[in-house]
Amino acid sequence: MTTENPMQLGMVGLGRMGANLVRRLMRDGHSCVAYDVNPTAVDDLAKEGATGASSLQDFVEKLEQPRTVWLMLPAAIVDSTLDQLVPLLEPGDTVIDGGNSYYRDDITRAQRLVTENLHYVDCGTSGGVWGLDRGYCLMIGGETEVVSRLDPIFKTIAPGKGSAEPTPGRTSTDGTAPDGYLHCGPSGAGHFVKMVHNGVEYGMMAAIAEGLSIIKHADAGKTDRTVDAETTPLRDPWAYQYDINVGEVAEVWRRGSVVGSWLVDLIADAFARSPELDDFSGRVSDSGEGRWTVLAAVDEGVPAPVITASLYERFESRQLGEFTDQILSAMRSEFGGHAEKK
Amino acid sequence: MTTENPMQLGMVGLGRMGANLVRRLMRDGHSCVAYDVNPTAVDDLAKEGATGASSLQDFVEKLEQPRTVWLMLPAAIVDSTLDQLVPLLEPGDTVIDGGNSYYRDDITRAQRLVTENLHYVDCGTSGGVWGLDRGYCLMIGGETEVVSRLDPIFKTIAPGKGSAEPTPGRTSTDGTAPDGYLHCGPSGAGHFVKMVHNGVEYGMMAAIAEGLSIIKHADAGKTDRTVDAETTPLRDPWAYQYDINVGEVAEVWRRGSVVGSWLVDLIADAFARSPELDDFSGRVSDSGEGRWTVLAAVDEGVPAPVITASLYERFESRQLGEFTDQILSAMRSEFGGHAEKK
Amino acid sequence: MTTENPMQLGMVGLGRMGANLVRRLMRDGHSCVAYDVNPTAVDDLAKEGATGASSLQDFVEKLEQPRTVWLMLPAAIVDSTLDQLVPLLEPGDTVIDGGNSYYRDDITRAQRLVTENLHYVDCGTSGGVWGLDRGYCLMIGGETEVVSRLDPIFKTIAPGKGSAEPTPGRTSTDGTAPDGYLHCGPSGAGHFVKMVHNGVEYGMMAAIAEGLSIIKHADAGKTDRTVDAETTPLRDPWAYQYDINVGEVAEVWRRGSVVGSWLVDLIADAFARSPELDDFSGRVSDSGEGRWTVLAAVDEGVPAPVITASLYERFESRQLGEFTDQILSAMRSEFGGHAEKK
Amino acid sequence: MTTENPMQLGMVGLGRMGANLVRRLMRDGHSCVAYDVNPTAVDDLAKEGATGASSLQDFVEKLEQPRTVWLMLPAAIVDSTLDQLVPLLEPGDTVIDGGNSYYRDDITRAQRLVTENLHYVDCGTSGGVWGLDRGYCLMIGGETEVVSRLDPIFKTIAPGKGSAEPTPGRTSTDGTAPDGYLHCGPSGAGHFVKMVHNGVEYGMMAAIAEGLSIIKHADAGKTDRTVDAETTPLRDPWAYQYDINVGEVAEVWRRGSVVGSWLVDLIADAFARSPELDDFSGRVSDSGEGRWTVLAAVDEGVPAPVITASLYERFESRQLGEFTDQILSAMRSEFGGHAEKK
């Protein structure tokens, strides 16, 4: 496939995501200028056809006006990078933040850049390590004309129509959503939608994980529970006598079932590689979007018990509830003389 | 496609699911005897090639021994149907319950049938109204030899390998999970896995629905909130000024994103047909499996906050928390003199 | 009882809380200047012994230096009142915000007032309509010296040692907590603790309300459930045949039980007055502190599933999940052809 | 105090609860026959005035007809004890189960005993180690005449009217609830109400514990969070700079606040004894009633998100969600190449 409208794009940040975006763009006929604080990352991409830049100054000089700069950076260093980059840019240039910024920062940054006659586009990018081949789902915020001008870039990065069956009830032929990218609204709208996307992701992941765990423990009746006042007896041990292969369950759910999803595909793969998931201890990080989704739900007054439960489940996986639990034990000791079981 | 091992199967219950199973089996070269209390349903299928039966007696007589009888009935009438059917069957015959029975009933029924030298297979069947063409995901419980003998039937009903990409990390070539059907264990194991499957389905649905609702309400800052002591002011109205097209978000999430799933496909379709979902008032039924999944989690001692929250969310959609809420209002009135807002 | 250290305090805002604080202070020998935008409220308190003020200017003039001004106002008008009040005050004067401000606003306001050589104290005040007689629990933030100087005021307002049995394990004789007031830390600490107090209140209220509702519905087995695929049958109707008097349960829990609490006292009272709680429709307001508590939990990374669930339960009581529910219904219709039950 | 109607009661099971019940009964003028499999426990109570029994046979012989036998045993051995006891009893005798049996067992047992012309009473007993002095809150199920006959026993065990202020709105002078005991309904009703009582207890405890934990972590802004893509940055560290004494907060909440409760009294005591709760690691047991409350809520269709969350929080405190968490980590690794943080 080759784009009909080749453009030039500059990429700052050549980690896994940034580098693969450059590769996907070049494959489709766009030209890229690539910069990273790590020169090896630059060299690697230069060997693959990108124009390497040795400094931000050099990077900006190698871009034609109006420039298009895509930042693919940890959220924590976007602002400091902008502090260096903005003075080098010229009116009409555009900065795209493709990382995981908080959408409120987008609003602030866009207001700041507009005073310099620069454009700012926020672009939530989903696809993980698979995006190079599958394409990335793009959720975009910013001025309509600017987003329109960048259409060939987004079209190339996105998965494209062929990546899923057409939606049967869709009669409208307008819009880019069926291509896998969407202009969601003004500044921040892209990262807002991406933020909620990740909140949904937390919830879906937790639903699948809880379910598979319940299946795993369908053998609960085979083990004798301690008989003491601190332990709930299992009333119907005969009903929990199953040894079910959880990995095979994930595999079978991939086809024809209502829960069929990419996440089920992935966990089937993980079980295929490691049937006991021995490589994982169960400390689950959360990187911001889940928390922000909950904050938005609370601000808006929208009940979000499922997404919130999935966030707290991650907190619990890292023992962040320990003090709460100590208090509970202390109360039980106080009123009932219950000692903790070791 | 045509099966290499045509078999004969008798279907009792010709609702949407039962009739489509018969059609899918016949398409693939199996022969079917069809019975329903509603003679029109029998006639319709007979026109399509099935052997119609006018009574259970007639139905049993038209099946060759050892008979294979598939029940596709509401859970509430399975036992009464078995009461009529079992005396008509002969040693070696097999009954498959393909509906949504509680897995504990399967254990009881299998114990009952074995005393008559009959076999009992429970088969959780997922696929909904789409299964005729997509195939059905089958989760099967029962004796190994019996399930093996029925393999050609299951293979035809299931979606088959081609319905999804192979799992990359899967080196094993054993098993039927990649074809979309799985023998999960002894009696009840099939419906156990199907039960949890539906619990997962509740959780995934809720995660998607909550997320899209948070996106829908991203315009919360555009409305003035009442200013009184009973209403939380929105501190940052500037951060909730988006009018985002929720249907287009669902559509874009179908491609390349981590939340890509059949459920997202379906809700994109629903929005394409009805952008405001006007046909739905929001009373969400629950039909048993979600509740049973929670009961299993509690019995096993597995925390399932996400799946449980999704169940309670359905209860709330039907105002089942009303008395709880009245108590809360009464308490607030008692300690603070707060009157309810109308 | 009479205070040993009578002081003068000015109260702005003579609603239920403000007026009762003035009464409680005067009863104990303090003198009060009272102001409200509503002159009738001023007149009423003047008749009871307060010095009435006809304007903020008049109010400030009637206070001796260094002035102590207590604001008892809706959170939404504190800042505008400060805009008028601050220019009238003089170095050394102190403003106490006794309402339900967000603790972050306290930090900002204290920083603003200190530039004028004014002091700012935040004071979370719990006690509702009962505080006049029971005393108010006070959670205080601000500079140590300022809070110390105001000790006679806080001591009078608080319930005092006699209002509860001494804590048996408490050997320390330091501190004011056993009197019912506590200097929690610097600016904002008082409202932070009060905020979380209300979050705890939400959770306790919900636990009680859910429990009583489960008891109320212990008759669930007496009603036939509809038999259809959309309705979960009740497997053990014999186990839900109780008609339990919920109000009497609340009354009995008041004595000797682990759940004994003021909230149980109050709901017992509500049931005594109205056994069916007919006056309440179940729309439960939330006024900010519950939401802010959840935001703090998420920021801190502390799992707070119970408090959060109680917040969302209030949202649900006001049907704020309606769009979520419509989406769920739409999905069920898509995959299963399920129509909503009316 | 002395009862006006002294009765004789036999106690089987002289653990902490059983022995203290005997003591409280004897103090008030009742006579008690005491039996335990441990003869030392019998001897100890005999020294305090009880009639000791050396065997169940001896125990039954020492009781006058109609006998009243109170079982205070772990739920797991009630049925085996009844197997031995029932043949020794005679028509008209009554057995009271004062332990924590599942209410459904009460229904079964009552049906069994009635065939022997024996009476069965279930009596949920709350009060913990404090009941000897405070009295026990009693929730009673069984036949009305039998429960009435035992009234002097229940009256003595319960806390009595003086233990709390009268409920202001209560005009009815009927009933025993204001004395701290209540006949809730037929067999099982007592343990049903006690079961839910404990569910409410879980929820209240969790609300308090979560709140105090949020206050404890109000210093979150003082610690630098790791800066990486796996860690959510804290946006407003200035707002989390408090070192708040959690024990003093619990102490101050005891007086005048809406959350005032026996549980707050107890946690204030625990903090007074051990400010860091060093004796507790945070493994919180659950002993059945919480689980059963959730099962009842699900069966009844009553949303109980708060009580359920408090149950799952206890599961999490014992790392029962570990497999779930491993699955989540595995998924994150699959789609994003995220490694777990150690």
What are the DSSP calls for C72-134, one per residue?
Answer: ---GGGHHHHHHHHGGG--TT-EEEE-S---HHHHHHHHHHHHTTT-EEEEEEEE-GGGHHHH
What is the tens place of the pLDDT at every residue in C67-109?
A: 999 999 998 899 999 999 999 999 999 999 999 999 999 999 9
H or E stretch at B39: helix B39-47
Measured between CA atoms, the residue of chain A closest to residue B214 is A297
**Contact between A298 and C299 using a beta-carbon 8 Å cutoff:** no
Whether the predicted pLDDT of D81 surpasses 70: yes
Residues of chain D contacting residue A322, judged by C-beta atoms under 8 Å apart: 282
User: For residues A196 and B215, is the Cβ–Cβ distance under 8 A?
Assistant: yes
| Single pTM value for the model | 0.96
| Closest Cβ–Cβ partner in C208, C231, C309 for B287 | C231
From residue C141, alpha-carbon distances to C89, C229, D100, D210, D244 in Å are 21, 58, 45, 21, 11
Measured between CA atoms, the residue of chain A closest to residue C315 is A303
Measured between CA atoms, the residue of chain D closest to residue C300 is D220
Cα B293 from Cα B195, distance rounded (Å): 6
Query: Given the structure tokens 């909230």, which residue do they identify?
Result: C263
Measured between CA atoms, the residue of chain C closest to residue B231 is C287
Whether the predicted pLDDT of D171 surpasses 70: yes
Assess C288–A contact: CB distance below 8 Å, yes or no: no
Which ipTM was obtained for this model?
0.96
Output DSSP code: residue A231.
B
pLDDT at A342: 67
What is the tens place of the pLDDT at every residue in C253-272?
A: 999 999 999 999 999 999 99
Residue D14 dihedral angles phi and psi, to the nearest 5°:
-115, 40
User: For residues B189 and B103, is the Cβ–Cβ distance under 8 A?
Assistant: yes
Whether the predicted pLDDT of D34 surpasses 70: yes
Closest CA to C177 of D267, D270, D245, A326: D245
What is the tens place of the pLDDT at every residue in D261-270?
A: 999 999 999 9
What share of chain A in percent tops pLDDT 90? 90
Closest CA to C215 of D126, B320, D293, B308: D293
**Contact between B288 and C232 using a beta-carbon 8 Å cutoff:** yes
pLDDT at D252: 98
pLDDT at A260: 97
pLDDT at B341: 72
**Contact between B341 and C283 using a beta-carbon 8 Å cutoff:** yes
Whether the predicted pLDDT of C228 surpasses 80: no
Output DSSP code: residue A65.
S
Listed as ranges, residues in chain A with pLDDT below 70 are 1, 227, 342
Q: How are beta strands D31-35 and C137-141 bridged, if at all?
A: unpaired
pLDDT at C146: 98
Whether the predicted pLDDT of D226 surpasses 80: no
Helix (H, G, I), strand (E, B) or coil at D35: strand
**Contact between D311 and B320 using a beta-carbon 8 Å cutoff:** no
For helices B246-253 and B189-216, give the axis angle rounded to 10 degrees: 130
Cα B262 from Cα C119, distance rounded (Å): 60
**Contact between B302 and D324 using a beta-carbon 8 Å cutoff:** yes
Assess B316–D contact: CB distance below 8 Å, yes or no: yes
Whether the predicted pLDDT of D329 surpasses 70: yes
pLDDT at A31: 98
Mean pLDDT of C106-115: 98
What is the tens place of the pLDDT at every residue in B18-55?
A: 999 999 999 999 999 999 999 999 999 999 999 999 99
pLDDT at B304: 98
Burial of D58 (0-12, 13-18, 19+ CB in 10 A): middle
Whether the predicted pLDDT of C1 surpasses 70: no
Cα C258 from Cα D127, distance rounded (Å): 6
Residues of chain A contacting residue C261, judged by C-beta atoms under 8 Å apart: none
Active site residue D194: yes
What is the tens place of the pLDDT at every residue in D295-318?
A: 999 999 999 999 999 999 999 999
**Contact between A331 and D231 using a beta-carbon 8 Å cutoff:** no
User: For residues A267 and A261, is the Cβ–Cβ distance under 8 A?
Assistant: no
**Contact between A306 and B192 using a beta-carbon 8 Å cutoff:** no
User: For residues D35 and D60, is the Cβ–Cβ distance under 8 A?
Assistant: no
Whether the predicted pLDDT of C283 surpasses 80: yes
Give B102 to chain C, closest Cα distance, Å. 10
Q: Go through A19-34 and write b for each residue having 16 or more CB atoms within 10 A of its CB, e for each that does not.
A: bbbbbbbbebebebbb
From residue D193, alpha-carbon distances to C242, D102, D147, D198 in Å are 10, 11, 16, 9
Angle at D34 between CA D125 and CA D26, to 5 degrees: 70
Quickly state the pLDDT bin for C342 (edges 50, 70, 90): low
pLDDT at A102: 97
Helix (H, G, I), strand (E, B) or coil at B194: helix
User: For residues C119 and C91, is the Cβ–Cβ distance under 8 A?
Assistant: no
Assess C136–D contact: CB distance below 8 Å, yes or no: yes
Output DSSP code: residue C170.
-
Give B327 to chain C, closest Cα distance, Å. 6
Chains in contact with C via at least 3 Cβ–Cβ pairs below 8 Å: A, B, D
What is the tens place of the pLDDT at every residue in A58-88?
A: 999 999 999 999 999 998 899 999 999 999 9
**Contact between D315 and B324 using a beta-carbon 8 Å cutoff:** no
User: For residues C124 and C139, is the Cβ–Cβ distance under 8 A?
Assistant: yes
Assess C210–D contact: CB distance below 8 Å, yes or no: yes
pLDDT at D172: 85
For chain B, 342 residues long, give each residue's pLDDT as a single digit of tens: 589 999 999 999 999 999 999 999 999 999 999 999 999 999 999 999 999 999 999 999 999 999 999 999 998 899 999 999 999 999 999 999 999 999 999 999 999 999 999 999 999 999 888 899 999 999 999 999 999 999 999 999 999 999 999 999 999 888 999 999 999 999 999 999 999 999 999 999 999 999 999 999 999 999 877 767 778 889 999 999 999 999 999 999 999 999 999 999 999 999 999 999 999 999 999 989 999 999 999 999 999 999 999 999 999 999 999 999 999 999 999 988 877 776
Cα A69 from Cα A90, distance rounded (Å): 12
Annotated catalytic residue, options A143, A201, A251, A316: A201
Burial of A91 (0-12, 13-18, 19+ CB in 10 A): exposed
H or E stretch at B106: helix B103-114
Query: Given the structure tokens 């405070």, which residue do they identify?
Result: D134
Give me the residues paired with residue C12 across strands. Answer: C35, C71
Token pair listed for A73? 């950076």
| Closest Cβ–Cβ partner in B165, B168, B239 for A104 | B239
Cβ within 8 Å of residue A276, ≥6 positions away: none
- Number of CB pairs, chain B paired with chain D, less than 8 A apart: 51
Token pair listed for A208? 């699948």
**Contact between B298 and D294 using a beta-carbon 8 Å cutoff:** yes
Cα B315 from Cα C321, distance rounded (Å): 12
Cα A296 from Cα A279, distance rounded (Å): 34
Measured between CA atoms, the residue of chain A closest to residue C310 is A305
Assess D232–C contact: CB distance below 8 Å, yes or no: yes
User: For residues D150 and D121, is the Cβ–Cβ distance under 8 A?
Assistant: yes
H or E stretch at C149: helix C144-149
User: For residues A136 and A160, is the Cβ–Cβ distance under 8 A?
Assistant: no
From residue C281, alpha-carbon distances to A48, B342, D303 in Å are 68, 9, 17
pLDDT at B231: 80
